[in-house]
Amino acid sequence: MPEKYYITTPIYYPSANFHIGHCYTTIIADAIARYKRMTGYDVFFQTGTDEHGEKIEKKAKEAGVSPKEYVDKIIEDAKDLWASLGISYDYFIRTTDKNHEVAVQKIFKKLYEQGDIYKGSYEGLYCVPCESFWTESQAVDGKCPDCGREVKMVSEEAYFFKLSKYQDQLIKFYDEHPDFILPLSRKNEMLNNFIKPGLEDLCVSRTSFKWGIPVDFDPNHVVYVWIDALTNYITSLGYPDVNNELFKKYWPADLHLVGKEIVRFHTIIWPCMLMALDLPLPHQVFGHGWLKIDGGKISKSLGNYKDPREYIKAYGVDAVRYYALREVPFGNDGNFSEEALISRTNADLANTLGNLVNRTISMAHKYFDGVTSNPKINEEIDNNLISKVTSLKEIVETKMNELKVNEAIDEIMDVLRLCNKYIDETTPWTLAKDETKKNRLATVLYNLLESIRICAILLSPFIPDTSNNILLELNTKKTDYASIEFGSLEENLQLNEPKILFNRIEIKN
Q: Using CB under 6 A as the criterion, which residues of the chain lie in contact with ligand MSP when the complex forms?
A: 10-13, 21-22, 24-25, 50, 229-230, 232, 258-259, 261-262, 290-291, 298
| Cβ nearer to ligand MSP, comparing 341 with 495 | 341
Compute the distance between CA of residue 274 and CA of residue 117 in angstroms, rounded to an integer: 13
State the minimum distance, in angstroms, from the CB of residue 328 to ligand MSP: 9
CB 81 within 8 A of CB 154: no
Burial class (CB in 10 A: 0-12, 13-18, 19+), 178: exposed
By the 10 Å C-beta count (0-12 exposed, 13-18 middle, 19+ buried), 507 is classed as exposed
Q: Decide if 495 contacts 487 (C-beta within 8 A).
A: no
CB of 428 to ligand MSP, least distance (A): 44
Closest approach, Cβ 14 to ligand MSP, in A, equals: 8
Residue 285 Cβ vs ligand MSP, minimum distance, rounded to whole Å: 11
Tell me whether residue 16 or residue 500 sits nearer to ligand MSP (CB atom). 16
Cα atoms in the Cβ-side hemisphere of radius 13 Å centred on 175: 6
Q: What is the rounded CA–CA span in Å between residue 444 and residue 438?
A: 10
Q: Which is nearer to ligand MSP, 259 or 329 (CB)?
A: 259
Count other Cβ atoms within 10 Å, centred on residue 380: 6
Longest dimension (CA), the chain: 90
Of 12 and 502, which has the nearer Cβ to ligand MSP? 12
Phi and psi torsions of 35, nearest 5°: -65, -45
Does the bond joining 240 to the residue before it have cis omega, within 30 degrees of 0?
yes
Residue nearer to ligand MSP on the CB measure, 67 or 498: 67
Q: How far is the CB of 206 from ligand MSP (least distance, A)?
A: 16
In whole angstroms, the minimum distance from the beta carbon of 26 to ligand MSP comes to 8
The whole-angstrom separation of Cα 202 and Cα 133 is: 9
Q: Which is nearer to ligand MSP, 75 or 505 (CB)?
A: 75
CB of residue 470 to ligand MSP, shortest distance in Å: 30
Minimum CB distance to ligand MSP, residue 154 (Å): 20
On whether the CB atoms of residues 361 and 498 are closer than 8 A, the answer is yes
Q: Is 189 exposed, middle or buried (0-12, 13-18, 19+ CB in 10 A)?
A: middle
109-116 long-range CB contacts below 8 Å, 24 or more apart? 109/216, 109/217, 110/240, 110/277, 111/161, 111/227, 111/273, 111/276, 111/277, 112/159, 112/217, 114/276, 115/162, 116/161, 116/162, 116/165, 116/276
Question: Closest approach of Cβ 272 to ligand MSP, in Å?
Answer: 14
Query: Which is closer to ligand MSP, CB of 338 or CB of 397?
Result: 338
What is the CA 103 to chain-centroid distance, rounded?
A: 26
Tell me how far, at minimum, the Cβ of 238 lies from ligand MSP, in Å.
18
Q: Rg for the chain (alpha carbons), in Å?
A: 26
Q: Which is nearer to ligand MSP, 258 or 505 (CB)?
A: 258
CB nearer ligand MSP, residue 107 or residue 458? 107
DSSP letters for 14-83: TTS---HHHHHHHHHHHHHHHHHHHTT-EEEEEEEE---SHHHHHHHHHHTS-HHHHHHHHHHHHHHHHH
Q: Based on CB atoms, which residue is closest to ligand MSP, 24 or 311? A: 24
- The C-alpha angle 118, 124, 125, rounded to 5 degrees, equals 140
**Looking at beta carbons only, is 287 or 370 nearer to ligand MSP?**
287
Q: How far is the CB of 350 from ligand MSP (least distance, A)?
A: 26
Contact 22, 309 (CB under 8 A): no
